[in-house]
Each structure stands twice: as structure tokens, then as C-alpha cells.
């Protein structure tokens, strides 16, 4: 009995070993397309990553197994993901005790990886050169294009609109210039658009409302001119709009205040004028509104209510006149309020939220008075 058990166990172990050997033999045969492997090696050759040694894992025939940051589609063994992040908690980073840095450029050879769905080359700080234009004709399966935090320059490829499946386009924190491509409104799957902190100029396309899937539009810290298009207010999933630190002019579309899930609006540091739409201040879903450093005129609409809940309401550095709205007294919550550097006048209302605010929230107006400023 004992003997038989032992034989059975041995046979079982042998079958298992044969299976493992057969499996690894098969992955060597069909592990990685030879042309994908060539393309990856060309891509690697134009980059220099001296601190972590991630590219030392890019050796051997099978680019689908154990090549750092590479994943293949198991059904066709084509490279599906390049996921290279310079900031990570991966063991390779913990061992090096530092974040990554890479220099060099993104080789157009990545365009041969025509089954790529994810291209993430993020936060390497030193990768320069242009975004290869060929991606917009070759990488039509892309869903995520994330090149944040490098030193990429030149223009956003004009035919970026061909990338109809892309849901995340993040090119923030680079050195990109040129105009926002008009074709961007063709990217019909786009949910997250982040181009912050570049040198992008031109106007926001007036038909941006075509991008109905958008939930975040982050274009802050660029050189964008022209108005906020009215059509933006038709993007009903929009939650976060950041157009701060640009050269945007015109007035704020009234419909912006009627958007169902918009919770953050940063328009600070632009040349926006006109009056503050009452709809913006009465919108109970809006938690952060920054209109600081613009040319807003007229009085502050007195339309706050018991459901008003602003974590931050910054209207400083404008040309607002008149009194502080008394309906603010009934607000559910006002965390940070800044009305400084305007032309407001009259007594500061008594009661919450004004009890907990400091003088800096009211300084540099024409004739405000009362606590926390001088008595009236």
C-alpha cells in the first residue's frame, strides 16, 4: 500500500514536470512575435535608463514573459501593453531606493506594435524629442496613451483624432507646444483629457461638446486663448474642469452652472470677464470654484442656500462690486472663502461661515467692515 502510494505520487510529479516542460517549450515557440521583439529592441535602443536597470530584463527571445513593463495578448501573443512608470512601489524601485529617470526619445519603431492597447511611458522626467506622429495611423487599438512627466516637445500629432478608442490621454507635464489639434473632438471614447503644464496654444475647439464621454478636462498651465465654448456644458458626465493659468477670455457660459455632476471648476489666472453666472453659485454639487485673478465684474449673485457646500470658493483678484451676499449665512458649508482684492463694500454679515474666516479672506476691498476687519 505504502509502495503504491509512493509510485502514484512519483507518476503524478512526473506528469506535472512533463506538462511544465511542454508549456515552456510552447511559449518559446509562440511566445512573442519576432517583429514585436525587434520593435521593442529598437524602442529600448533610443532610451537610456541608468538607475534601475529595467531594460536589462529585456533580453531573450520571449518578450511576452519577464520583460519589465511588457504584456502580451494571450490569444495572439502580440504585445498589448507597454507600462513603464518612473514612479512606482515595484521591488525594482524599492531596491534602487529612488524614482526612475530616463533620457533619450520615443522611437517611431513603437508604431510597429500595431496591437498596442496601452502605452504608458510616465514620469521619467528626462525623455525628450517628439511624440512619434505615426502612432495616429498605426496604433489604432490604443485605449490608454499616458506620457505624463517627461520633456516631450513639438506638437501634439494633428491627426490624434484617429485614436477613436483612447479613453485616457495624458500628456501633462511636458514641453509640448503648438495648437490644440482640432481633430481631438473625434476621439469619441475620451474620458480623461490631461494636457496640463505644457505650452499649448490656440483655442479650445468650439465643438468639444462632441466628446460626450469626458469626465475630466484638465488644460491648466498652458497658453490657450479664446472663450470657454458653450458646447462644453453639454458634456453631462463632466466632473472636473481645469482651464486655470491660460489666456482664456470672454465670459463664463451660464449653462456651466447647470451641469449635473460638475464638482470642480478651476478658471483662475485667465482674462475672463463679465458677471459670475448665478447658476454657478446656486449649483449645490459644485464643491470647488476658483475664479481668482480674472476680470469678473458686477456683484456676487446672492443665491446661496441651505444646500450650498463649497470646500473652496475663491473669487479673489477680480473687479467685483457691491455687498457680500447675505445668503452665504445659510450655507451648509463653506471651507475656504477668498473675496480679497475686489471692490466690495459694506458690512461683513454676522454668523457662520464668517465667524471662522480670517481677515485675509476680505482684505483689499474698497470699504468692507465688521469682524474680522475693523468695526463699521
Minimum CB distance to ligand NAG smaller for 121 or for 252: 252
Give the span between the Cα atoms of 325 and 273, in whole angstroms.
20
What are the phi and psi torsion angles at 213 (to 5°)?
A: -90, -10
Cis status of the peptide bond prior to 323, with omega within 30 of 0? no
- 189 neighbors 165 (Cβ within 8 angstroms): yes
Minimum CB distance to ligand NAG smaller for 244 or for 282: 244
Quick check: 233 binds ligand NAG (CB under 6 A)?
no
Minimum CB distance to ligand NAG smaller for 123 or for 268: 268
Quick one: cell of 332?
451648509
The minimum distance between CB 266 and ligand NAG, in angstroms, equals 7
Between residue 257 and residue 316, which ones bind ligand NAG under the rule CB under 6 A?
Answer: 268-269, 290, 292-293, 312, 314
Q: How many CB atoms lie within 10 A of CB 351?
A: 10
Quick one: cell of 74?
494571450
The minimum distance between CB 216 and ligand NAG, in angstroms, equals 17
The minimum distance between CB 293 and ligand NAG, in angstroms, equals 5
The minimum distance between CB 286 and ligand NAG, in angstroms, equals 13
The minimum distance between CB 316 and ligand NAG, in angstroms, equals 7
- 301 neighbors 321 (Cβ within 8 angstroms): no
Minimum CB distance to ligand NAG smaller for 244 or for 318: 244
Minimum CB distance to ligand NAG smaller for 109 or for 244: 244
**How far is the CA of 142 from the CAs of 37, 85, 123, 166, in angstroms?**
19, 17, 20, 6
Minimum CB distance to ligand NAG smaller for 184 or for 217: 217
The minimum distance between CB 334 and ligand NAG, in angstroms, equals 11
The minimum distance between CB 267 and ligand NAG, in angstroms, equals 9
Between residue 329 and residue 358, which ones bind ligand NAG under the rule CB under 6 A?
Answer: 336
How many residues lie near ligand NAG (CB under 6 A)? 9
Between residue 70 and residue 109, which ones bind ligand NAG under the rule CB under 6 A?
Answer: none
Minimum CB distance to ligand NAG smaller for 141 or for 225: 225
Sign of the dihedral through C-alpha 30, 32, 37, 38 = positive
**Alpha carbon of residue 112 to chain centroid:** 27
Give the span between the Cα atoms of 245 and 196, in whole angstroms.
10
The minimum distance between CB 287 and ligand NAG, in angstroms, equals 11
- 259 neighbors 282 (Cβ within 8 angstroms): no
Q: Which residues contact 369 (CB under 8 A, 6 or more apart)?
A: 346, 347, 348, 375, 376
Minimum CB distance to ligand NAG smaller for 84 or for 269: 269
The closest of 344, 335, 287 to 317, measured between CA atoms, is 344
Give the span between the Cα atoms of 233 and 373, in whole angstroms.
39
Tell me which residues touch ligand NAG (CB under 6 A): 244, 268-269, 290, 292-293, 312, 314, 336
Amino acid at each position: 500500500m505504502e509502495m503504491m502510494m509512493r509510485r502514484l505520487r512519483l507518476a503524478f510529479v512526473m506528469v506535472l514536470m512533463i506538462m511544465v516542460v511542454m508549456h515552456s517549450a510552447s511559449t518559446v515557440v509562440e511566445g512573442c512575435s519576432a517583429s514585436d521583439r525587434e520593435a521593442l529592441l529598437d524602442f529600448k535602443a533610443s532610451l537610456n535608463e541608468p538607475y534601475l536597470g529595467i531594460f536589462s530584463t529585456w533580453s531573450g527571445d520571449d518578450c511576452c514573459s519577464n520583460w519589465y513593463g511588457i504584456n502580451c495578448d494571450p490569444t495572439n501573443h502580440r504585445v498589448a501593453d507597454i507600462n513603464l512608470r518612473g514612479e512606482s512601489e515595484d521591488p525594482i524601485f524599492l531596491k534602487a531606493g529612488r524614482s526612475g529617470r530616463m533620457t533619450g526619445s520615443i522611437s517611431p519603431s513603437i508604431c510597429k506594435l500595431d496591437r498596442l492597447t496601452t502605452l504608458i511611458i510616465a514620469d521619467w522626467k528626462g525623455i525628450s524629442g517628439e511624440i512619434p506622429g505615426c502612432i495616429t495611423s498605426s496604433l489604432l487599438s490604443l485605449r490608454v496613451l499616458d506620457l505624463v512627466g517627461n520633456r516631450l516637445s513639438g506638437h501634439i500629432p494633428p491627426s490624434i483624432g484617429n485614436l477613436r478608442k483612447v479613453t485616457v490621454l495624458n500628456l501633462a507635464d511636458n514641453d509640448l507646444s503648438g495648437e490644440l489639434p482640432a481633430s481631438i473632438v473625434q476621439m469619441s471614447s475620451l474620458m480623461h483629457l490631461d494636457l496640463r503644464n505644457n505650452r499649448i496654444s490656440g483655442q479650445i475647439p468650439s465643438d468639444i461638446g462632441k466628446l460626450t464621454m469626458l469626465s475630466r478636462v484638465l488644460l491648466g498651465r498652458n497658453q490657450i486663448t479664446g472663450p470657454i465654448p458653450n458646447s462644453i456644458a453639454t458634456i453631462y458626465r463632466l466632473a472636473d474642469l481645469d482651464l486655470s493659468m491660460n489666456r482664456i477670455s470672454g465670459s463664463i457660459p451660464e449653462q456651466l452652472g447647470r451641469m449635473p455632476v460638475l464638482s470642480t471648476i478651476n478658471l483662475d489666472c485667465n482674462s475672463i470677464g463679465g458677471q459670475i453666472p448665478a447658476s454657478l453659485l446656486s449649483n449645490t454639487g459644485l464643491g470647488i470654484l476658483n475664479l481668482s485673478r480674472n476680470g469678473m465684474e458686477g456683484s456676487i449673485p446672492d443665491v446661496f442656500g441651505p444646500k450650498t457646500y463649497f470646500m473652496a470658493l475663491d473669487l479673489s483678484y477680480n473687479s467685483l462690486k457691491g455687498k457680500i451676499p447675505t445668503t452665504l449665512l445659510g450655507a451648509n458649508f463653506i471651507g475656504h472663502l477668498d473675496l480679497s482684492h475686489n471692490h466690495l463694500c459694506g458690512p461683513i454679515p454676522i454668523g457662520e461661515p464668517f465667524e471662522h474666516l480670517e481677515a485675509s479672506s476680505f482684505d483689499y476691498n474698497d470699504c468692507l467692515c465688521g469682524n474680522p476687519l475693523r468695526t463699521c
